[in-house]
Copies of this chain bind each other. A is one copy, B any other.
């Protein structure tokens, strides 16, 4: 993805697209899987690590199985770069995701950091993510936290 210097679009469109990336985080961290139906298109395609997902049901299955065994998680996104072209847009943002689980004999923390590379589309219900790919950039902490 080459977003380059970003085209701004309207403040409303930009805010709505940034908000999708934020609502995704809170859906994951609060276990509100149904909220993801307001984030993605029904036929969204993602690569969230360990293979791809095709459609909202597979996306929900992927993130819920990964996160529901943790004690807690905190997905922080920032540094959004978005290019809007009419009713479609591409964008990327940085992720700092803390995974929290008490494990025997080690730290309860494991960070995954990277970037999301997204495609967005304007639908009759508002902007949605139609494609998402995570690129992991670094990890830190106790890998046992996310291994079962």
Contact = CB atoms under 8 A, between A and B. Distances in A.
- Number of identical protomers: 3
Contact of A26 (B3, B8, B25, B138): B3
Given A81-B26, A98-B113, A109-B140, A19 B6 contact: yes
B14 A138 contact: no
A38 interface: yes
A41 to B, nearest CB: 15
* 7 closest cross-chain pairs (CB), A and B: A11-B11, A5-B38, A78-B78, A76-B94, A76-B78, A76-B79, A22-B79
Interface of A: 3-6, 8, 11-12, 14-16, 19, 22-23, 25-26, 32, 35, 38-39, 72, 74-81, 92, 94, 96, 98, 100, 107-109, 113-115, 137-138, 140
16 contacts: A5-B23, A5-B35, A8-B12, A8-B19, A11-B11, A11-B15, A74-B113, A74-B115, A74-B137, A76-B78, A76-B79, A77-B78, A77-B79, A78-B78, A96-B96, A109-B140
